[in-house]
């Protein structure tokens, strides 16, 4: 059975988590994860460029089938929310430039998709990522673990969307 490679992204302008997961039948394999870190000493526009360039490199290296991106949720700090929104826009643009479909994944979908319970905490999600991907330990940093969770759940959503579109 052919595999489906999903690039999961946890958006941020300081640190953007990424995780690459192959969905092969009912099995999932971690193909890589990490973070693109920017410096708070750099101008914001340069930081956005660094995110874009890093993401382009990851896409070129891993050749994903689609990109699963966490939808933003309400934040109390409007300035931070706006900057994270701009970083998310750069991520969406980089995926579109590469011709990749995008799956928006909500935090609630991740919780339900991984644990079956919408009230799961971060630790439970990280433990399920470790278990589902048969990893020796919980991926670090947290942003990378969150991105892997996006790739796991995003792959299932993408397969479901494709099946619905084809009438299966």
Residue 1 has what pLDDT?
A: 53
In the numeric block, which tokens belong to residue 36? 């693109």
pLDDT tens for the chain, 168 residues long, are: 568 999 999 999 999 999 999 999 889 999 999 999 999 999 999 999 999 999 999 999 999 999 999 998 766 778 888 999 999 999 999 999 999 999 999 999 999 999 999 889 999 999 999 999 999 999 999 999 999 999 999 998 998 676 545 455
- Taking the model in full, what pTM does it have? 0.93
- Burial class from Cβ neighbours inside 10 Å (0-12, 13-18, 19+) for residue 164 reads exposed
CATH number of the domain encompassing residue 143: 3.30.420.10
Q: Is 142 a catalytic residue?
A: no
Q: Is 97 a catalytic residue?
A: no
How many angstroms separate the CA atoms of 105 and 74, rounded?
A: 15
State the catalytic residue, choosing from 14, 43, 97, 143: 143
State the catalytic residue, choosing from 14, 70, 97, 104: 70
In the numeric block, which tokens belong to residue 23? 């969905």
Counted domains in the chain? 1
How many angstroms separate the CA atoms of 80 and 69, rounded?
A: 18
Q: Where in the sequence is the domain holding 65, given as residue range(s)?
A: 4-165
State the catalytic residue, choosing from 10, 43, 61, 121: 10
Q: Is 143 a catalytic residue?
A: yes
């Amino acid at each position: 059975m052919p595999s489906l490679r999903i690039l999961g992204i946890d958006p941020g302008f300081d640190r953007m988590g990424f995780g690459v997961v192959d969905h092969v039948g009912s099995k999932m394999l971690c193909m890589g994860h990490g973070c693109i870190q920017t410096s708070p000493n750099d101008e914001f526009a340069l930081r956005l460029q660094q995110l874009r360039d890093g993401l382009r490199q990851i896409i070129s290296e891993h050749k994903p089938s689609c990109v699963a991106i966490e939808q933003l949720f309400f934040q109390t700090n409007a300035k931070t929310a706006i900057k994270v929104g701009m970083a998310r826009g750069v991520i969406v643009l980089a995926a579109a430039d590469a011709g990749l479909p995008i799956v928006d994944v909500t935090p609630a979908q991740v919780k339900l998709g991984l644990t079956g319970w919408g009230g799961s905490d971060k630790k439970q999600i990280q433990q399920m990522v470790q278990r589902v991907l048969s990893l020796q330990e919980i991926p670090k940093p947290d942003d990378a673990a969150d991105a892997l969770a996006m790739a796991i759940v995003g792959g299932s959503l993408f397969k479901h969307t494709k099946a619905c579109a084809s009438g299966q």
